[in-house]
Amino acid sequence: MADLPIDPQPEASHFIAGEWVEDASGAPIPLVYPATGKVIGAVHEATPAIIDRALETARNAQRAWAATPIAERGRILQRAAALIRERNRELSVLETIDTGKPLQETLVADAASGADALDFFGSIAPGIRGEQIPLAGGDFAYTLRVPLGVCVGIGAWNYPTQIACWKAAPALVMGNAMVFKPSELTPLGALRLAAILHEAGLPPGVFNVVQGGGAVGAALVSDPRVAKVSLTGSVATGRKVYAAAAEGIRHVTLELGGKSPLIVFADADLDRAVSGAILGNFYSSGQICSNGTRVFVEKPIREGFVARLVERIERGVVMGDPLDERTNFGPLVSESQMEKVLADIRRGVEEGARLVTGGHRANRPGFFVEPTVFDEVTDEMHIAREEIFGPVLSVLEFESEDEVVARANASPYGLAGGVFTRDLARAHRLAERIEAGTFWINGYNLTPVEMPFGGSKLSGIGRENGWAAIEHYSEVRAVHVSTGPLDAPY
């Protein structure tokens, strides 16, 4: 593999109060390039002093930021969006080095979608308003949307830049300050975002980034200065964060894992459904929370569907150097994630699912696992119940609509779902019947920023994106205005 085109080492580990900040006494966190497994740099975990400094600066900066006119706050976000778009290639190369995801993907899906979020929330800013409520006797009430204060954002490693933007954009536009902790596996993108926001005119201290793993996340979540926590991560971490936030009655948004159903009826456009299954299982090497990993296919077309799917994978996958734009399939983020996925695959084989393609670590350096399809999967199998977070698709056969709805809903998760059918009445019926925060009709994994995104059941609470996110980064203050006489009992 060729040498890296850029030096990924950031100027310092943290970004606090508008400045790069280092504290080498924090434990080193190596930067590992997933496509080679080689160490390419390091950052330091935030020490208690760094965590304190970030929270204190956020608290001090927040009041003045909240007093800045909302339209001006919006303009700063839009300027940052423009800078991100200008530098999309450089940011995408960095994201590819940080995550191992192919440049072919990061060029269109990562910094670009982060810019979309900054633009969306920046542009709707002047339109955010409260209500006026007429009351008896000429009295009335009105509502204000007020900021929460200091918000903590905690990211997963699959979309580091997008996750940081999806949290920062609604938080900042509503007048909050944020301390963001990226995943310890992907520390780079959020630092760049912080620097760009400041270049765009964000006052120092309004958006800060500190590095570290679960212990740093836990320290942030339980700090009394924090008003809200937004986590993107696993259900196990979500439980801990929710419990810690409950202690201080903090607001919480949780974007957690899933095991989403993708349902293909016999009347579907077969190639379109196969495209949906590929997008919903193998993009980002399967490291997408909303993936439709339980692919329910109606009995008459199951064999044809599997044959077409396998043919397209075996013909179309270009696995290789993620920095080569021809590559469309990259490594997993880390060795341990690769080992976990390989163990899940072995379990699928042991439990009797039919492995039809893939199933192995690729014969090359780095953390590559072949795109893997299991057929003849049943609902009780581990691979049909648990999130794998890797390139593993399970095909399950069904015979009727009621049956597939019941089986699709028989999961503790409820992040997403999708249907492929030409019967539009049925499609809309399923959108109502499938228990999920997001549902796609004749498509999959499309998450434009205008649309709310989030989970039900164990997959989370709260929503990111769209107008819905505004509600999760502000609260309503009701103001009662008396206009008539005010009677007191004595």
Sites of contact with ligand NAD (CB under 6 A): 154-158, 181, 183-184, 213-214, 217-218, 221, 231-234, 237, 240-241, 255-258, 289, 387, 389, 415, 455, 460
Eight-state DSSP code of residue 483: -
Give the residue with the Cβ less far from ligand NAD, 291 or 357.
291
Residues in the chain: 490
Order the strands of the 177-181 sheet from edge to edge: 19-21, 14-16, 207-209, 177-181, 150-154, 226-232, 251-255, 460-461
C-alpha angle with apex 172: 169 to 175, nearest 5 degrees?
Answer: 150
Q: Which of 95, 298, 387, 464 is catalytic?
A: 464
Q: Which of 45, 165, 167, 181 is catalytic?
A: 167
Q: How far apart are CA 44 and CA 14, in angstroms?
A: 8
Residues 210-233: b if buried by 16+ CB within 10 A, e if exposed? bbbeeebbbbbbbbebbbbbbbbb
Parallel/antiparallel/unpaired status of strands 261-264 and 416-420? parallel
Instruction: Name the minimum Å distance from CB 187 to ligand NAD.
Output: 10
Give the residue with the Cβ less far from ligand NAD, 265 or 283.
283
For 76, the token pair is: 């700063």
Instruction: Name the minimum Å distance from CB 151 to ligand NAD.
Output: 14
Q: Which of 289, 370, 401, 435 is catalytic?
A: 289
Instruction: Write the single-letter amino acid at 350.
Output: E
Instruction: Name the minimum Å distance from CB 448 to ligand NAD.
Output: 15
Query: Is 432 one of the catalytic residues?
Result: no
Query: Is 167 one of the catalytic residues?
Result: yes
C-alpha angle with apex 21: 16 to 25, nearest 5 degrees?
Answer: 125
Give the residue with the Cβ less far from ligand NAD, 289 or 301.
289
Eight-state DSSP code of residue 231: E
Task: Report which residue's Cβ sits closest to ligand NAD.
Answer: 217
Give the residue with the Cβ less far from ligand NAD, 305 or 440.
440
- H/E stretch holding 301: none
Q: Which of 45, 95, 184, 255 is catalytic?
A: 255
Give the residue with the Cβ less far from ligand NAD, 46 or 70.
46
Give the residue with the Cβ less far from ligand NAD, 76 or 97.
97
Instruction: Name the minimum Å distance from CB 445 to ligand NAD.
Output: 11
Instruction: Name the minimum Å distance from CB 179 to ligand NAD.
Output: 12
Q: How far apart are CA 72 and CA 195, in angstroms?
A: 19
Residues 256-280: b if buried by 16+ CB within 10 A, e if exposed? bbbbbbbbbbeebebeebbbbbbbb
Instruction: Name the minimum Å distance from CB 80 to ligand NAD.
Output: 22
Query: Is 464 one of the catalytic residues?
Result: yes
Query: Is 289 one of the catalytic residues?
Result: yes
Q: What distances in angstroms separate CA 277 from CA 126, 423, 444, one per listed residue? A: 40, 19, 8
Residues with catalytic function = 167, 255, 289, 464
